[in-house]
Amino acid sequence: MGCGSSTESSDGHHQRQASLLGGEKEEKGVGSREKHQLISPSLAYCLLQDVPTHSVIFFDARDSDAYERHHIREAVHPWAHKGADEAKFREWLRNVTRLRTVVIYSDASDTASQGSGSSSGVGGLLDWLSSSQARPKEVLIVKGGLQAFSRRFGFCVVRGSKGRGRRKQPSVPLPTPSEIIAPKRSGRGFALYVCGEGVLKNSPQSVRLLRVRTVVNLTQRPCPLDRKPRVVHLSCYDKAELPYDEAARVVRSSQQRNRAVLVYDHSGDVHSAAVVVWFMVEQGTSVSAAMAHVKRKRGSVQFDSYVTSTLTRLEEAVKQGGHGLATRPKMVAPQLQRDAQAQLTQGTVTPAPETAQPPPGSSLQLPPPPPPPSHTQDSTPRAATQAVTRPNGTPPLNHQSSLGTDMSSGAAGLYSKVDDMILRLKSSLPPDEYQECIRTVSRLFTNVLAHATDDKYRSVRMANERFMAAVGRHPTAIELLVLGGFVRNAAAETYQLPQAALLQKLRDINSRLLLHTQG
């Protein structure tokens, strides 16, 4: 797929774009029942990574025997909750699907057009969702059913006691790499994956099972894989010019060799996502379409405004036949670091004293925070988490905090606020207390999301010994609760989450907490 030219027709541009995104276009469902869309097994696999955050729920619409034989991991069998009381079943459907993405699958022959008026199957489940007046975010149906999904992602399928005669798949912990571009053949050929460094540490088997032949490492650390494929190390940290073009060139080489490639950074949401968009734009996809596609496959990605503007200039260069190095834009320091430079220039950030600065040419590291007076609360001042400055007074480019994230603690946005709070906790607590603290907060959020209408899970007593030991005595942990929407009820001596609180915000915060508990 070559680059576009100024004389190329729009039809040719769209053909190349459709070729690159082949198999990922969603199809609208029809009929009077619950609105739905058909999705590829690849997108279903990507959405499976979000199940632990309670933003997605998978429904297996087959009968109980088929479900017991094998099913997609984390999938719920809705018919197990259907008893004689239909009103309770409808209430259960409303509760578990509220504002969540619902993914439904069955056998390959079972489609939404079948089963109307039935008590089972895809069509029957759609009818039940409609009659229960459920309010899901969206309803998606896996094209080809479990068979098509298993052919590509068998390691995400659980086989029960009735399937002992079949070859068991290895146990691979979630999350696994997100498949941004799926192979045209069944699991073979060029494919493009993205993940964070923690995924390679926790789920190295997934890289082999996805047949990845080349890994692009955008961190400043060695690749953690024991059985390494070909690794290309292009660090995006402490660089005045980010190597997005070089990384995209490696991806392009894998495409020409018809091999799968994986790109990763610390979180999998910033540099790696930008490299993928860079590659797609070079192939003729528009910036807006590429970003929308990447965010659909990996909802947590973030695109800085400066990165977006540079990608837009790349798109213009491609349209003008600008594959030459002389005409392609350079990706220099992201806007987040330019904002930090502006703050420094205006005097809002005080440079560190000369004695605290590293000598010229040395690698920059975040200085260890001063030891807190005790481990009873996270009392480390915020200033202790600020990055050191360069000898010439400029802040470090793409400075990497000890959290292993790609965003600086001062960046705007919900994730950055959560990262800042977690950094303060990590700097002031022993490792075991720190882990127990964020895990307890995550459990509180998870229980609320799993039981959205049950007030019992929306309240925690201040006098609860376990809560006080893990969370209540740490002010920053209480800030996390408040950020999620919890309010203090002094009269009842509880922290409560009002029914009007936004559950999506709670999901977003919890997804960040889960990321750090895995690190």
- Rounded to 5, what percent of the chain is helix, strand, coil? 45, 10, 45
Q: How confident is the model at residue 236 (pLDDT cuts 50, 70, 90)?
A: confident
Identify the pLDDT of residue 139: 92
Confidence of residue 454 (pLDDT cuts 50, 70, 90): confident
Of the pLDDT bands very low, low, confident and very high (cuts 50, 70, 90), residue 389 is very low
Mean pLDDT of 460-483: 89
Q: What is the pLDDT of residue 392?
A: 36
Strand-by-strand arrangement of the 230-233 sheet: 178-181, 192-196, 260-265, 212-217, 230-233
Q: 149 — alpha (psi -120 to 50), left (phi > 0) or beta?
A: alpha
157-159 vs 70-72, strand pairing mode: antiparallel
Q: Which residue has the higher pLDDT, 62 or 114?
A: 62
pLDDT for the residue 190: 94
pLDDT at 29: 45
Q: 258 pLDDT exceeds 90?
A: yes
Domains in the chain, CATH or no CATH each: 13-163 (3.40.250.10), 178-319 (3.90.190.10), 426-518 (1.20.58.2190)
When pLDDT is averaged across residues 187-196 and rounded to a whole number, the result is 90
257's CB contacts (< 8 A; 6+ apart) are 190, 213
- Contact in structure between 36 and 29 (CB atoms under 8 Å): yes
Taking residues 161-184, what's their average pLDDT?
73
H or E element that contains 88? helix 86-97
Whether residue 273 is predicted with pLDDT greater than 60 in this model: the reply is: yes
Q: Looking at per-residue confidence, does 483 or 335 come out higher?
A: 483
412 Cβ neighbours under 8 A, 6+ residues apart: none
Read off the DSSP letter of residue 401.
P
Report helix, strand or coil for 261.
Answer: strand
- The Cα–Cα gap between 480 and 460 comes to 14
Q: What is the mean pLDDT of residues 53-73?
A: 90
- The larger pLDDT score, comparing residue 413 to residue 343, is at 413
Distance (Å, rounded) from C-alpha 107 to C-alpha 147?
7
In the predicted model, is pLDDT for residue 374 greater than 50? Answer: no
User: Per-residue confidence at 403, pLDDT binned at 50, 70, 90?
Assistant: very low
Between CA 125 and CA 93 the distance in angstroms is 10
How confident is the model at residue 180, as a pLDDT?
A: 96
Is the pLDDT at 266 greater than 50, yes or no?
yes
Q: Model confidence over 197-210: pLDDT tens digits?
A: 989 988 899 999 99
Among 347, 480, 512, CA closest to 415:
512
Q: What is the pLDDT of residues 33-55, one digit of tens each?
A: 567 889 999 999 999 988 877 88
Residue 119 is predicted with a pLDDT of: 59
pLDDT tens digits, one per residue of 8-26: 444 454 455 555 655 444 4
- Rounded to the nearest 10°, the torsion over CA 141, 509, 178, 295 is 70
- Answer whether 0.75 is exceeded by the pTM: no
Render pLDDT for 116-149 as a digit per residue (tens, 0 to 9): 445 578 888 999 999 998 889 899 999 999 999 9
Judged by average pLDDT, the poorest of 214-228, 422-436, 505-519 is: 505-519
Could you report the per-residue pLDDT of 312-367, keeping only the tens digit for each?
889 888 888 755 445 677 777 554 444 444 444 444 444 433 333 444 443 333 33
| Calculated CA dihedral for residues 501, 503, 504, 509, nearest 10 degrees | 90
For residues 251 and 343, which has the higher predicted lDDT (pLDDT)? 251
Residue 394 has pLDDT above 80, yes or no: no
Asked if residue 148 lies in contact with residue 142, where contact means CB atoms within 8 angstroms, the answer is: yes
Determine the pLDDT at residue 61: 93
231: enclosing H helix or E strand: strand 230-233
Give all strands of the β-sheet with 494-496 in edge-to-edge order: 459-461, 494-496, 487-489
Among the residue ranges 49-63, 154-168, 505-519, the one predicted with the least confidence is 154-168
The average pLDDT across 446-459 equals 83
Give the pLDDT confidence of 72-98 residue by residue, as tens digits: 988 999 999 988 788 999 999 999 998
Q: Which backbone phi and psi does 147 adopt, to 5 degrees?
A: -60, -50
Chain centre to alpha carbon of residue 6: 36
pLDDT of residue 338: 47
Quote the mean pLDDT of the chain.
76
Q: What is the pLDDT of residue 4?
A: 38
Confidence (pLDDT) at 21: 59
